[in-house]
């Protein structure tokens, strides 16, 4: 059985990829360009992939393909309809990032809420010495205790972020789906979350109905000038609207770990915000603690072995 990993370099180099416990040939490519996909999977029985796109044309070039193991939770890079039509089983990784993503989310929240990057840069520039006293107050510092956290996305990551927020003394609002008002007392209508939250954090998948779920109109409706945090998926926010919202004061800060196109090109609107003390962009690493990436790799091979035994798990398309 031939196994082809198309983008092994998307897992950190210190991550150990265990050898599957059945006869096989494993071919690992560090990266795979779109023009190389069809050739590299043409004789594969199993394909492992993180972010490389597998569309209908590429799948048609792989007549032996039986299984795709996605080394991530999101599967928007896979043509699931084409997989179903061809009888290709697709599995994703689940629950491996239950600590790392919430921790990164709150790293961004703390850094912005207390202006950590701004103060660090000011100290580097000599501002402390110039102040002539033991401290200075150039940038805002706000507590999280007593503030309101709006969580958009009620899966395991959203729930974990909510639990941390409650532990910090925050009032937590779990947002209902946009446009829905019938989800019960455990959920707060989407528009009310925008109006009442001091911090809004996204933890939902990128789907047609969630693409650009927050744009200029939603940013303008954020009455308490909240922090906007996105450690979920690029495309959930209209990225061209974030800079104007910061400039207009609709939001007091933004922390993003994802962009719609990764890596972002030099003319991406976020690249023009790098000088701002109220904006932080990290390179899609919220998921990437050593512990989490190793757990992902172990689960990826566990799932390959389960498929080979005829007991596929975490199936998203079959």
- List phi, psi (to 5°) of 200: -120, 125
For β-strands 148-152 and 199-202, DSSP reports them as parallel
Tokens of 221: 């409706």
Catalytic option among 113, 260, 284, 308: 284
Tokens of 252: 């007091």
Catalytic option among 8, 40, 203, 233: 233
Q: Are 65 and 44 in contact (CB under 8 A)?
A: yes
Q: Are 69 and 48 in contact (CB under 8 A)?
A: yes
Q: Indicate if 239 belongs to the active site.
A: no
Catalytic option among 16, 18, 25, 262: 262
Residue 201, beta-bridge partner list: 151, 229
Q: Which residues contact 62 (CB under 8 A, 6 or more apart)?
A: 38, 41, 42, 43, 44, 47
Tokens of 233: 């998926």
CA 37 to chain centre: 24
Q: Indicate if 84 belongs to the active site.
A: no
Q: Indicate if 262 belongs to the active site.
A: yes
Q: Which residues are catalytic?
A: 233, 262, 284
């Amino acid at each position: 059985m031939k196994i082809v990993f198309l983008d092994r370099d998307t897992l950190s180099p210190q991550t150990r990829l265990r050898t599957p416990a059945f006869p096989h040939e494993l071919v690992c490519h560090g990266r795979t360009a779109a023009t190389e996909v069809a050739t590299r999977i043409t004789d594969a029985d199993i394909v492992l992939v993180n972010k490389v796109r597998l569309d209908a044309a590429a799948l048609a070039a792989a007549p032996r393909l039986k299984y795709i193991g996605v080394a991530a939770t999101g599967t928007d890079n896979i043509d699931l309809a084409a997989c179903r039509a061809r009888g290709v089983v697709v599995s994703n990784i689940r629950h491996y990032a239950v600590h790392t993503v919430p921790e990164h989310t709150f790293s961004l929240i703390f850094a912005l809420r207390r202006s950590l990057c701004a103060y660090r840069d000011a100290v580097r520039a000599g501002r402390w010495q110039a102040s002539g006293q033991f401290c200075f107050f150039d940038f805002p510092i706000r507590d999280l205790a007593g503030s309101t956290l709006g969580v958009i996305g009620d899966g395991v990551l959203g729930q974990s972020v909510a639990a941390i927020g409650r532990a910090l003394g925050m009032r937590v609002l779990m947002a209902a789906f946009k446009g829905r008002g019938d989800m019960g007392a455990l959920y707060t209508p989407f528009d009310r979350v925008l109006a009442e939250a001091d911090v809004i954090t996204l933890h939902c998948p990128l789907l047609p109905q969630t693409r650009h779920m927050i744009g200029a109109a939603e940013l303008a409706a954020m009455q308490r000038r909240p922090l906007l945090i996105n450690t979920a998926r690029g495309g959930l926010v209209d990225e061209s609207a974030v800079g104007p919202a910061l400039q207009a004061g609709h939001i007091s800060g933004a922390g993003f770990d994802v962009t719609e196109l990764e890596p972002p090109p030099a003319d991406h609107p976020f690249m023009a915000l790098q000088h701002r003390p109220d904006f932080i962009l990290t390179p899609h690493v919220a998921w990437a603690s050593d512990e989490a990436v190793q757990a992902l790799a172990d689960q990826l091979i566990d799932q390959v072995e389960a498929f080979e035994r005829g007991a596929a798990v975490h199936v998203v398309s079959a």
